Amino acid sequence: MANHRLERTQCDLTEFMLRHRRKLTPADVGLPTSGRRRTPGLRREEVAALAGVGLTWYTWFEQGRDIKVSERFLLNISRALKLDDAECCHLFLLAHRRAPPAEAYQEQSTSPRIQSLMDDLSRPSYVMNLRWDVIGW
């Protein structure tokens, strides 16, 4: 039964990685666009290069093979795929079955429009992120 659960998690990890890799274009990450592509999104070798990890290691990870990856590896992949805090946390839960370290979370602040809205309110107000940190008041 435990193997079935692990297998499902690896499948979920593969789907998650493919979905986020396909969402990005080379232009989104500052790479030159070179003609026509057979599949949408970034190639595996582009993600590996952006993250500073080996192509084989990244490919095995994306395929859901039973390899051990470090926190640094996951953080680099998160940054290369431009994952937000919630997506980064989900990646860590799929890969390591625990939340990422504190340095993984991006410093957040409110947009000028939201800050202006709060300033115009006659009552006290605040904005929190997904970790319940107050990021604007």
Q: Tens digits of per-residue pLDDT, 79-133? A: 899 998 888 888 988 888 777 776 666 666 778 888 888 888 888 888 877 656 7
- To the question of pTM greater than 0.85 for the whole model, the response is no
Q: Return the CATH number of the domain spanning residue range 2-104.
A: 1.10.260.40
Domain range summary for the chain, segments of one domain joined by +? 2-104, 107-137
Highest mean pLDDT among 32-41, 52-61, 63-72, 114-123: 52-61
Residue 5 confidence (pLDDT) above 70: no
Alpha-carbon distances, residue 131 vs 103, 107, 134, 135, 137 (angstroms) = 13, 11, 9, 10, 16
